[in-house]
Amino acid sequence: MSRDPVPAFDAYKHLNLSINPDGSCTRNFEYPIVVPDPDPSPGKLTASKDITINLETGVTVRIFRPTNLPSNDNTIARLPILIHLHGSGWVLYPANSPANSRGCSQMASELTAIIVSVNYRLAPEHRLPTQYDDALEALLWVKRQAVDKTNGEPWLRDYADFSRCYIFGSSNGANLAFQLALRSLDHDLTPLKIDGSVFYQPFYGGKARTKAELKNFADPVMPVPAIDAMWELSLPKGVDRDHRYCNPVGYLPQKEKVGRLGRCLVIGYGGDTLVDHQQDFVEMLVTAGVRVEAKFDDAGFHGIELVDPRRAVALLNMIREFIN
């Protein structure tokens, strides 16, 4: 007998994906690619530019800077850096999608910060840990800009405060952000300093169904079969959903290393299909001794900030409080 309450559900149809014989997928949807606008003209929230950080893999970052730069005694004030890892369900959207571009622009303007949005490669064409590797490469690239006073990227060299760098991730991007924070401990980032990490609606899972998954099995936003499909397309071949890339409990054997992380903020919603896994993630961080602040609102669902402007403002306010 099936353990799932709704056995008939076409996850790939829900995701608008077709799986090809070679293991790649066809994304059966179109969206406008947002091109960067490097001109900081009055009336615009931000300016943005794309930079290829690896010619071999084609991985790029998009940098957003506020149009209005704060000054102090005629000197431009240095701005915090946010390494931004967007939500894509691992397989769906690149960083230059309209929703992510709009969110990064608003974040740069409202937080008065430099946003470095990582256009990591997507699964299934590139399975985990490729995305973790791409995120780390972006972080190390930012560090190199701090070191190279002559040829460093001007927007970072001239405007960024490298001692105030934060890692932010949404959905599977929060999963990425945690891995990036963990991997950063293996590198000398001087003069770059990670001052904290924000994990928004982190995308985790596990083999055993949780109460929230059973309750929200056919949720219109995050139905469980679609979540299963995203993991099936992104995890390394041969591993199951209890692998640490998916199940945060898998990091407990590394709790000494996890405990060396800096401040963390975890944000979630009670109506999210993934909420139980997110709370397992928080419990894992607490067990490891991390200074973690958890903010869970009983009302709300996965991606609510994309459709409710008030929640988008509330999210920005929480991030602002954390970084200030």
Distance of CA 69 to the CA centre of its chain: 25
**Is residue 8 in some structural domain?**
no
Task: Give the whole-angstrom CA distance, residue 69 versus residue 77.
Answer: 7
CA distance 215 to 283: 22
172-184 vs 130-147: helix crossing angle, rounded to 10: 50
Question: Which residue among 88, 97, 171, 197 is the active-site one?
Answer: 171
Q: Let me know if 243 is a catalytic residue.
A: no
Give residue 68's pLDDT: 87
Q: Is residue 10 part of a domain?
A: no
In this prediction, residue 5 has a pLDDT band, given cuts at 50, 70 and 90, of low
Note whether 82 and 113 are within 8 A (CB): yes
Least confidently predicted of 50-54, 200-204, 305-309? 305-309
Q: What per-residue confidence (pLDDT) applies to 58?
A: 96
3 pLDDT higher than 90: no
**Does a structural domain hold residue 292?**
yes
pLDDT recorded at residue 7: 54
Query: Average pLDDT, whole number, for the chain?
Result: 94
Q: Which of 186, 166, 185 is nearest to 265 (CA)?
A: 166
212 domain-assigned: yes
Determine if the pTM surpasses 0.75: yes
101 is catalytic: no
8 Å CB contact between 318 and 295 = yes
Distance from the first to the final alpha carbon of the chain: 53
Counted domains in the chain:
1
Distance separating alpha carbons of residues 319 and 48, to the nearest angstrom: 21
pLDDT of residue 4: 58
The enclosing domain of 256 has a CATH number of 3.40.50.1820
Domain that holds residue 119: 47-323
- Tokens representing 132 are 């973790």
H helical segments located in 21-97: none
The residues with which 114 forms a beta bridge, in sequence order, are 81
Contacts of 226 (CB under 8 A, 6+ apart): 11, 14, 15
Q: Is residue 252 part of a domain?
A: yes
Over the stretch 82-135, which tens digit does the pLDDT of each residue have? 999 999 999 999 999 999 999 999 999 999 999 999 999 999 999 999 999 999
pLDDT digits (tens, 9 = 90+) for 7-43: 568 999 999 999 999 999 999 998 889 999 999 888 8
Q: Is the pLDDT of residue 76 over 80?
A: no
CA distance 48 to 255: 38
276 occurs within a structural domain: yes
Residue-wise pLDDT for 134-187, tens only, equals: 999 999 999 999 999 889 999 999 999 999 999 999 999 999 999 999 999 999
Q: Which of 133, 134, 272, 276 is catalytic?
A: 272
Is residue 230 in some structural domain? yes
In a domain, 226, yes or no: yes
Is 272 tagged catalytic? yes
Residue 1: predicted pLDDT: 39
Do residues 302 and 273 lie in contact, with contact meaning Cβ atoms separated by under 8 Å?
yes
Q: What are phi and psi of 245, to 5 degrees?
A: -60, -30
